[in-house]
Chains A and B, each alone.
Chain A
Amino acid sequence: MSGQLLVFVICGAFAVLGALGLLFFHKAVHAALSLALVMINLAAIYAALDAALLAMAQVIVYTGAILMLFLFVIMLVGIDRRESHRELIPGQGVVAILAGIGTLGLLVFAILGSFPAQAVGLEAANGGNVESLAALIFGSYVFAFEFISALMIIAPIGAMVLAQQARLTAKKTQRERAAARIEAYAQKGVHPGTLPNSGVTALQDSIAVPGLLPAGRISTSSVSQAMVDRDAVVNVHAVSLLTAQRFAELSGEVPPAIIKPEPVDLVDTKDERELLK
């Protein structure tokens, strides 16, 4: 068994496995990774077929650029989203698989036996794969090469038109923002200074921990509204209870009186922010 054949058998098997993964994985991100498997293995087969430059381009362009773009978009739309496999048209899947088997039969029938008896190989034509390809690309295919640049212009324009959220109003300057703050203070009494920091406890110091006011109440403006929206705000009183118990265990003393936890109510944060807008 020649090395070329070995490469083909191994990589071909992996490529088919990857393609099957694309069909059967429920999550889009798994499908993308199995497509990456297919592409890497195809690159190896290209290398075995005397297409060294193409093998490199396959890895760089497909696996490096195209699949990364796919992954970006998958992250954008939510990585753990599962797709439903409910069929809208009953029997569609069966029909599709039957059609696929039929097409495969047609293609196998077409390919088998109709091949040139002996592969010519590319030793003669290659003479340095890169140079020979360059001669073709800048020779008889130069028009295609130039014309494809139209696609390279269309694609970014399309992406910018459909996906770039251009600023619709002028950006507020520092001065305007300061004036608006003072205006809000003058009219509605909103505190014009910086908002309080998030809190630090013995166990946690993330921005999800609200700061405590001197009386032990939670400072509602110390956590970002984004945290409130996502229900990510840490219940500090529960945490402080935990800390106190830990201290007691370590020192063997009776735990100090715990300030009674209040219900976490962060609604008024929103109101403050509304006033600031």
Chain B
Amino acid sequence: MGILEITAPTFEWLELSPLLTVLIGAVLGVVVEGLVPRAYRNLLQVAILVVTIFTAAGLLIVNWISARLGIFAMGALVLDGPAYVTWAAELLFGGLAILIFAERRAGQGASVFVAAAATVPGSKDERLANSIGREHTEVYSLALFSLSGMMVFAASNDLITMFIALEVMSLPLYLLSALARYRRLLSQEAALKYFLLGSFASAFFLFGIGLVYGFSGSLTLEGISSSITLSGTGRGLLLAGIVLLAVGLLFKIGAVPFQSWVPDVYTGAPTPVTGFMAIGVKFAAVMGLARVFFVALGGERWSWQPVLAVIAVLTMAVGAVLALTQTNIKRLLAYSAVSHAGFVLTAVVGANAFVPDGQINALGAISFYLIAYGFATVAAFGIVTLVRKGAGETLELGDWAGLGVREPVLAGAFAVALLSFAGIPLTAGFIGKWAVFSSAWSGGYAWLSIVGVGFSLIAAYLYLKVLVSMFFADPASSVSAVKPSLATWIPVIVGAIGSLVFGLFPGPLMDLLSHAEVFLR
């Protein structure tokens, strides 16, 4: 028993620099909270946010162009095409969604976050905190931490890094969900529900990690993959492990039967936070799921593909059908998020099919779908923050009637987002749906694509119904949209233009994705 030689670990600083930038930005935000007087904090936090996102994006682009692919950070992170695509998308959509946090015109000069979260709702202290203009500027830091978790989640090369990333992604979101300024009881309740169910799901994920580790004796995705091909014994552990891993991942994606938290949390959380988690978590979780199932469990795909196909169908069905019955715009968008999870899962099922060179594969289809969904989501949730009746947001669909007459620009942008959600031709959503369904088709799941088309028609009917009421119904009284600042205009406009541009000219993005989308092992 001698003293072990420990060699100093090596970090590839340059390759990891986009991630490190986001973490540094988040920590700087914490430092600002400690050192800067309250009056300057918000401005400084927004500045840090913008600089962080742009620096990280710049570094990412440089790295990507220089093709710095490989397995880094002592084998913990793998930066391959999908990881770069995810990082870029997370920075773009995450940055836009967090920017909406800074909107202050929507609440008479106050942000959408609670003035002092520790005060009891409706108490004298709460009114005092409101009147002296208190606010929680920690939200930017928390969101950046969450963003870093999303980035690591989609790029982790072993299951334990993935578990930690899952928690880094989720914990700030549990907190942010509790911080709405209006309807605070609802918001706290949403946070409690999200937290309890989320930690329940991550316990399942962890037990799954344990079982898979028991099967293979390794925690790295590559190690698990090779023991699947080599070992003939202990399949029981592997299968049970796959089931439990899937529970954790499908929960984060919001797939049936783990969707019950989605509408409640989406409704209760402050709307910009909902937008952030809608796209950020979904992108990271789907790419993480794809990485685990393709890279680590690809050799076992005959056992998980049929199950996942059934889950995809159920998810599409529940999302599309329950969305029809909703009268609240955020719940409607939540159920639409559920059905989108189903659509994107069809491409995961169709994985590992032979793809002719130059054509988009399953991963490319997933990425394109999620990018299209991201543009539409950022725009849609940005607009939801703006339509008001009195002090708070109005979420009743009836109140949105006739908005197209009064606010043609905003309603137009919302219409583009809804058309993209619906998958109407000439929007990015259409190309995305076409890509995922054709991927499922070529993966041998033709029936799944047909079912998917069916459910997307049901969903399209719903979105068109909303559109018709927005543009052709009599305007509801006393509802107005606030004139937003750039913090909301930029995400809304970028989201709407992105939904259109990538619908009209999907070629370049398709090219990029079809070249980028191979997992490195």
Give A residues with C-beta under 8 Å from B. 106-107, 109-116, 127-128, 131-132, 134-135, 138-144, 147-148, 150-151, 153-155, 157-158, 161-166, 168-169
Q: Which A residues are in CB contact (< 8 Å) with B75? A: 140
Structural contact, A163 and B118, CB atoms closer than 8 A: yes
List, in ascending order, chain A residues with CB within 8 A of B134's CB. Answer: 166, 168
Q: Which residue of A lies closest to B241 (CB)?
A: A110
Are B171 and A155 in contact, with the CB atoms below 8 A? yes
Q: Which residue of the partner chain A has the closest CB to B174?
A: A158
A residues near B215, Cβ cutoff 8 Å = 114
Docked CA distance A139–B141 (Å): 29
Q: How far is the CA of A158 from the CA of B366 in the complex (A)?
A: 34
Do residues A151 and B171 form an inter-chain contact, with CB atoms below 8 A? yes
Q: Which residues of B contact A144 (CB under 8 A)?
A: 76, 158, 160-161, 164
In contact, A132 and B4 (Cβ under 8 angstroms): yes
Using Cβ atoms and an 8 Å threshold, which residues of chain A touch B234? 114-116
- Interface residues of B: mostly helix, strand, loop or mixed? helix
Give the residues from 73 to 106 in chain B that come closer than 8 angstroms, CB to CB, to chain A.
73-77
Does the CB pair A164–B118 fall under 8 Å?
Answer: yes
Distance of A112 Cα from B236 Cα, bound (Å): 8
5 closest A-B pairs by CB? A143-B76, A110-B240, A114-B234, A110-B236, A143-B73
CB atoms of A138 and B117 under 8 A apart: no
Cα of A132 to Cα of B145 in the assembled complex, Å: 31
Which of A135, A139, A162 has most B Cβ within 10 Å? A162
- B3 at the binding interface (Cβ < 8 Å): yes
Q: Which residue of A lies closest to B139 (CB)?
A: A161
B262 CB to nearest chain A CB (Å): 19
Residues from chain B with a CB closer than 8 A to the CB of A142 are 9, 73-74, 76
Is B314 an interface residue when CB atoms closer than 8 A count as contact? Answer: no
Q: What residues on B are CB-neighbors of A154 within 8 Å?
A: 142, 145, 168, 171-172, 175
List B contacts of A110 (CB < 8 A): 211, 236-237, 239-241
**A115 to B234 alpha-carbon distance, docked (Å):** 6
The reply to whether A150 and B149 form a contact with Cβ atoms under 8 Å apart is yes
Q: List 14 A-B contacts (CB under 8 A).
A: A109-B240, A114-B235, A128-B4, A134-B4, A139-B74, A150-B168, A153-B30, A154-B145, A154-B171, A161-B175, A161-B179, A165-B119, A168-B116, A169-B128
Q: Which residue of A lies closest to B118 (CB)?
A: A165
Residues in A with CB closer than 8 Å to B175 are: 154, 157-158, 161-162
Q: On chain B, which size bracket covers the interface?
A: 35 or more
| Contact assessment for A147 and B161 in the assembled complex, using a CB-CB cutoff below 8 Å | yes
Asked if B172 contacts A135 (CB within 8 A), the reply is no
Given contacts A113-B236, A147-B161, A158-B171, contact A134 B6 (CB under 8 A): yes
Residue of B nearest to A126 (CB): B1
Say how far A112's CB is from chain B's closest CB, in angstroms: 8
Contact residues, B1-59 vs A (CB, 8 A): 1-4, 6-7, 9, 11, 23, 26-27, 30, 33
Would A150 and B26 count as touching, CB distance under 8 A? yes
Q: Which residues of B lie under 8 Å from residue A148 when comparing CB positions? A: 164, 168
> Given A140-B74, A168-B128, A169-B128, does the pair A111, B236 have CB atoms closer than 8 Å?
yes
- Chain A residues lying within 8 Å of B23, measured Cβ to Cβ, are 150
Q: Are B30 and A157 in contact, CB atoms less than 8 angstroms apart?
A: yes
Asked whether, in the complex, the Cβ of B152 is within 8 Å of the Cβ of A147, the reply is yes
Contacts of A127 in B (CB 8 A): 1-2, 4
Does the CB pair A138–B27 fall under 8 Å? no
Shortest A179–chain B CB gap in Å is 22
Chain B residue nearest to A142 in the complex (CB): B9
Instruction: Give Cα A165–Cα B119 distance, bound, in whole angstroms.
Output: 7
Kindly list chain B residues whose C-beta atoms are within 8 Å of the C-beta of A168. 116, 125, 128-129, 132, 134
Whether A143 pairs with B161 at a CB distance below 8 angstroms is yes
Known: A143-B73, A148-B164, A155-B171; 4 extra A-B contacts, CB below 8 A, are A114-B234, A132-B4, A150-B148, A168-B129
Q: Check B116–A141 contact: CB distance below 8 A.
A: no
In the complex, which residues of chain B have a beta carbon less than 8 angstroms from the beta carbon of A151? 164, 167-168, 171
Least CB separation from A133: chain B residue: B4
Shortest beta-carbon distance from A125 to chain B in Å: 11
